[in-house]
Amino acid sequence: MTFSTASPADLPALQFIESHQDYPWSETQLASCFGEGYRVRLLWQDNLTVGFSICQRVLDESTLFNICVLPACRGLGFGKLLMDDLIVEARAAGDSAIFLEVRASNSEAIGLYRRMGFEEVGRRKGYYPTVSTREDALVMRFSLDKV
């Protein structure tokens, strides 16, 4: 496994991975994450991009906006590797916390975040669209003050 920082030239790989999500981001949304303050990281295995993470740093906090792994590579620990990378980078930048929002129905992701030490700090009612209605978002926080 190797990590690299993505550039706009990597947009097709991001879009391919993202297209397998239930509610994928558009290419425009992904492209907007290459501005100042954003960090887009790729996870590679055997010359194949298997996942990515997108976060934004503001002052002394990072916010995870998106983390995505190819369907064939899920359940193999790649999501944890991407989260570990995010935590290492945030600590190195001097951040005090990492925040994220996750669909309340995404039990696999919530389980990973909890195992890694994220705690629920809020809920946004009706935040995410679904096919027929809206879904709550859990707001989670990881304190980088922890050892």
Binding residues for acetyl-CoA: 106
Residue type present at position 108: E
Q: For the packed helices 78-92 and 107-116, what is the interaxial angle rounded to 10 degrees? A: 50
Say which of 27, 108, 113, 128 is annotated catalytic: 113
- Tell me whether residue 101 is one of the annotated catalytic residues: yes
Binding residues: 106
Cβ-contact 67, 77 below 8 angstroms: no
Which of 38, 101, 108, 120 does the annotation list as catalytic? 101
Q: Say whether 113 is catalytic.
A: yes
User: Do residues 28 and 44 lie in contact, with contact meaning Cβ atoms separated by under 8 Å?
Assistant: no
Q: In whole angstroms, how far apart are CA 102 and each of 4, 28, 36, 40, 97?
A: 24, 21, 24, 18, 16
Q: Which residues pair with 101 in a beta bridge?
A: 139
Residues marked as catalytic = 101, 113
